Structure 1
């Protein structure tokens, strides 16, 4: 089965202004298989879907995340456009997983992310299970290698889970950062990974042990709020100083189900959007953010498109905050 498809333009609809007041009037569709990629000499955001829940299935989660990218697109399309005229907003299609071949899908994702970065576009990936992270990270790594760039990548993950499960049985949505850590050992590079929102009721003792062994920095959900913002700010600032690039991944199941019911592993005990927005401001201000994804969007369990709207608003915030 194919692993890439162009986006259906009918997903991007909303109020019509005729003056690009809304993002659906701003977006340009690109088929990476056939279209000539536009020449980019100005800021460009490249939306890329990851329609895959095979990793969630293997991790015994709720199926439906493969429908996530298009659900987010529909909500993003309706939002107002405050981007300047010279900024490009591209929808570059979706990497699909229709035959259960997770490894192949992640390989295609990796190659596609590297392609976008080489074209001077900033990738914003919409998932899909959190196994998106392994393919995404490797795409950044591949791009830096082809550019002859040996600079370091730091990962910042907003999530209830470490996603450091061993992949001895199989690769899944709970193993991506463990896989990255093992790859770092093989190529003798530093594994730089920081998590915000970790919950004790969502991670076993062994996962805490693995995090400790791998030198993972984290802030538990009990302290991941605006009351502790100064400490959080210091941690992010220090982390960004120690690496050359930041890859940020937002697992929507880290949010309380009051904000994000439509995820693979919902819980009312998660964090709020406000603290994530404040953290994103710091990351963006560092000028080191190289790529972003949102994972675990599951419209099957969403209520009034609430989770899709949250995801769309997060994307909207990032592309406008970065101007």
Structure 2
């Protein structure tokens, strides 16, 4: 006998509403991966500051359950689409280098085997971008990077090994990406050493400071960045460090600070990047759900996913 009104999970449901987690389906390993796919990378032991970023992939997925698939401004609805979730890469408990090997191997397999897949990689701290972009380059040829960040992430390797401050230094020193093909947007005052700014410029990295972003529309800078890379690379990888946002928008970032992007600007950039066929992967990093306030930062990350993915489904 069934007891009336009793459900396994008695949350309110509305027959007219489809949420993003309703279209998010676990990948069975057999179905071809085409278009955006979710991949979690729960690594935070390589952070140079206290971080619970390993909890972020789960938190972002949970936030996708809060929002509908309908985009009212463009009158688009993803309700009839399917967004496949590949799950999380299993992390070694203590060995950071082993974890980087696993990330590179997983991303390279995904991008080599499924040429039309667009990984949406949920980190994790920013150290994951080095192995992830390395793996991506194996499957997608010459890669350009558009990096949203308050920091250059070009720290030397000798003082602390591979960390969330070194991914782009590692990419340059291993020859994975040329400096001329890295574009950094949102670099902030009092967040970087002079030596690392000089290193970026010496390597040919394009740097847009927050002052430059404030004086122009961020979407203009993004479009300019795409056009610069269009004739130079086979594919663009977008890396979004959430501390590019002002601390008022992203309290769940380990390295919060004032003077950053507004969430609206970052969401507009994500939608623009979603429309660009040359963009072949996105990572979202540096969210610590254990220090977030009402999941504010994870909510923005979910909106980045939705804004980007809606343009590709």
TM-score bracket, normalised by the shorter chain, equals 0.7 to 0.9
Q: Distance in 2 between matches of 1:78 and 1:131?
A: 29
Return the match for 1:175 from 166, 172, 175: 166
Cα gap change, 1:66 to 1:210, in 2 (>3 Å): same
Return the match for 1:259 from 239, 244, 249: 249
Indicate whether 1:215 and 2:204 are aligned: yes
Structure 2 length as normaliser, TM-score? 0.86
Q: Distance in 2 between matches of 1:230 and 1:299?
A: 28
Superposition pairs of residues 44-83 of structure 1, within 5 angstroms:
44-56=35-47, 59=48, 61-81=49-69, 82-83=77-78
Q: State the SS of the aligned residue for 1:99.
A: coil
Q: Distance in 2 between matches of 1:301 and 1:138?
A: 30
Indicate whether 1:291 and 2:288 are aligned: no
Cα gap change, 1:20 to 1:106, in 2 (>3 Å): farther
Divergent runs of 4+, >6 A: none
Tell me if structure 2 keeps the 8 A contact 1:130–1:251.
Answer: yes
CA offsets 1:96-115 (integer angstroms, 9 cap, x no match): 43422111112111222223
Q: Distance in 1 between matches of 2:233 and 2:187?
A: 22
Q: Distance in 2 between matches of 1:304 and 1:226?
A: 31
CA offsets 1:196-222 (integer angstroms, 9 cap, x no match): 000121001111111011111011012
Q: State the SS of the aligned residue for 2:190.
A: helix
Return the match for 2:132 from 132, 136, 147: 136
Q: Distance in 2 between matches of 1:257 and 1:14?
A: 32
Structure richer in helix, relative to its length? 1
1:64 Cα deviation (Å)?
A: 1.0
- CA-based RMSD: 2.3
1:125 Cα deviation (Å)?
A: 0.7
1:251 Cα deviation (Å)?
A: 0.3
Gaps of 5+ in 1: 1-11, 145-150
Q: Distance in 2 between matches of 1:199 and 1:14?
A: 43
Q: Distance in 1 between matches of 2:219 and 2:289?
A: 35
Q: Distance in 1 between matches of 2:150 and 2:218?
A: 18
Tell me if structure 1 keeps the 8 A contact 2:20–2:65.
Answer: yes
CA offsets 1:40-71 (integer angstroms, 9 cap, x no match): 4xx43211111111111xx2x12211111111
Q: Which has more radius of gyration?
A: 2
Return the match for 1:269 from 259, 272, 275: 259
Tell me if structure 1 keeps the 8 A contact 2:36–2:312.
Answer: no
1:239 Cα deviation (Å)?
A: 2.1
Gaps of 5+ in 2: 1-8, 70-76
Return the match for 2:108 from 103, 114, 126: 114
Q: Name the residue aligned to 1:163.
A: 153
